[in-house]
A and B are shown apart, each in its own frame.
Chain A
Amino acid sequence: MDPDALAKAFVEHYYTTFDNNRAGLASLYQDGSMLTFEGEKIQGAPNIVSKLTSLPFNQCHHSITTVDSQPSPATNGMLVFVSGNLQLASEQHALRFSQMFHLLPTPQGSYYVLNDIFRLNYA
């Protein structure tokens, strides 16, 4: 599959899972995975999913504005850089965010997230 198409497919899957079944994100991380969420560093799938499922909102909707990807030959992985909007159910205005993922292939032929960095973009 074309790398850009792979990146788009991953991004769609990631945010759909986040918005509909946040705990389902667990399958996308492993023990060595790292998340930096607004400056807070978290390591390992259980801790990462625990952080994401405990964020102070029940419903949210991510809409994606840009997706850029590049191969990472040094790691045989893929870097994906996303910007978009995050609408929380209780809020009038959407938040803007940027996020980067470093994806590594799994033996089963899909990808997992080794590195994940999320930042809100304040106006």
Chain B
Amino acid sequence: MDPDALAKAFVEHYYSTFDANRGGLASLYQDGSMLSFEGQKIQGSQNIVAKLTSLPFQQCQHSITTVDCQPSGVNGGMLVFVSGNLQLAGEQHALKFSQMFHLIPTPQGSYYVLNDIFRLNYA
């Protein structure tokens, strides 16, 4: 599959899962995975999912504006750089965010997130 198409497919899957079934993100991280969320560093799938499922909102919708990707140089790894909007239920205005993922292929032929950095983009 074309790398750009792969990156788009991953991004769509990631944010659909986030928006509809946040606990389901567990399958996308492993023990060595790292998340920096607004400057807070979290390691390992369980801690990452605990952080994401405890964010102070129930419902949210991510809409994606840009997706850029590049191979990360070793063994099929891929860097994905996303910008978009995050609408929280109950809030009038959407938040803008940027996020980068470093995806590593799994033996089963899919990808997991090794590195994840998320930042809101304040006006």
Contact = CB atoms under 8 A, between A and B. Distances in A.
Contacts of B121: 83, 96, 98, 121
Nearest to A4: B41
A36 interface: yes
A98 B73 contact: no
A115 B32 contact: no
Interface residues of A, number: 28
B114 interface: yes
Interface residues of B, number: 28
Given A70-B115, A74-B74, A39 B36 contact: no
A36 B68 contact: yes
Interface string A72-84: 1111010101010
Contact of A114 (B32, B73, B81, B114): B73
Contact of B102 (A79, A104, A123): A79
Nearest to A115: B70
B81 A73 contact: no
B58 interface: no
B98 interface: yes
Interface of B: 32, 34, 36, 39, 41, 66, 68, 70-75, 77, 79, 81, 83, 96, 98, 100, 102, 104, 114-115, 117, 119, 121, 123
Interface of A: 32, 34, 36, 39, 41, 66, 68, 70-75, 77, 79, 81, 83, 96, 98, 100, 102, 104, 114-115, 117, 119, 121, 123
